[in-house]
C-alpha cells in the first residue's frame, strides 16, 4: 500500500507521520508536477477541513526533508514531485505548460560535472528542455494544402 510506504519514508526522514503529510504525499505521488492549488484540492478530497497554510507547511517540511522535489520552470508556479532518487530532467511545453520527466541522456548524472566548479560541491543539476508537446503541435498545424498546379 502506498500510504504505508509514505509513512515509512516520513518516519525515516525523522518526521512525525500525520494525516496531512500522508495526504500530500499520496496526491503528489498520484499527480507528479502538481502545483500547490492542485495539491490542496486533492488533499481536501480526503481531508475536508485542511487549511491552505497546513498544506503549504507540509510541502515545505517534505521538501526540506528530501521527500518531495520542488521545481519551478521559468514563468511557472512551483511544481512538486516524489521522484527524488535520481537526477532526472524535465520537458516543458511552451503552449500548454505540461511537464514531463526525462531521464539523463548519458550516464547516471552527467550534469553534475560542471566545466568549472568554482569551488562548489555540486549535489544537484536542473535541466529543463523547452518545446511544444505533440498534442499542441498537432493542434496548431494548419490542414495540409494540395500541391499547387505546376506552371507551364
Query: Which residue ranges make up each domain of the chain?
Result: 2-71, 86-140
What value, to the nearest 5°, has the Cα angle with vertex 91 and ends 97 and 98? 25
pLDDT digits (tens, 9 = 90+) for 94-121: 999 999 998 876 655 556 667 777 888 8
Write down the pLDDT at residue 15: 97
Domain 2-71, CATH among 3.40.630.10, 3.40.1390.10, 1.10.10.10, 3.10.450.50? 1.10.10.10
CATH number of 86-140: 3.30.1490.190
Write down the pLDDT at residue 151: 43
pLDDT digits (tens, 9 = 90+) for 114-132: 777 788 887 777 888 899 9
- Say how far apart CA 45 and CA 112 lie, in whole Å: 39
Task: Say whether pTM exceeds 0.85.
Answer: no
- Does pLDDT of 81 surpass 80? yes
Cross-sheet strand order for the sheet of 128-131: 99-102, 89-93, 128-131
Cross-sheet strand order for the sheet of 69-71: 34-35, 79-81, 69-71
State yes or no: 108 annotated in a binding site: yes
State yes or no: 111 annotated in a binding site: no
State yes or no: 96 annotated in a binding site: yes
Residue 76: other Cβ atoms inside 10 A: 14
Closest Cα partner for 94 from 143, 144, 128? 128
What value, to the nearest 5°, has the Cα angle with vertex 34 and ends 32 and 37? 155
State yes or no: 104 annotated in a binding site: no
Amino acid at each position: 500500500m502506498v500510504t504505508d510506504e509514505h509513512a515509512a519514508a516520513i518516519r525515516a526522514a525523522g518526521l512525525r507521520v500525520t494525516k496531512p503529510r500522508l495526504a500530500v504525499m499520496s496526491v503528489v505521488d498520484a499527480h507528479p508536477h502538481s502545483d500547490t492549488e492542485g495539491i490542496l484540492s486533492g488533499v481536501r478530497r480526503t481531508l475536508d477541513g485542511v487549511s491552505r497554510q497546513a498544506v503549504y507547511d507540509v510541502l515545505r517540511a517534505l521538501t526540506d526533508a528530501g521527500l518531495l522535489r520542488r521545481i519551478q520552470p521559468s514563468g511557472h508556479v512551483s511544481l512538486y514531485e516524489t521522484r527524488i532518487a535520481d537526477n532526472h530532467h524535465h520537458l516543458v511545453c511552451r503552449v500548454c505548460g505540461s511537464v514531463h520527466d526525462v531521464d539523463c541522456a548519458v550516464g547516471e548524472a552527467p550534469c553534475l560535472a560542471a566545466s568549472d566548479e568554482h569551488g562548489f560541491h555540486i549535489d544537484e543539476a536542473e535541466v529543463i528542455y523547452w518545446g511544444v508537446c505533440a498534442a499542441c503541435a498537432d493542434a496548431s498545424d494548419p490542414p495540409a494544402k494540395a500541391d499547387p498546379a505546376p506552371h507551364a
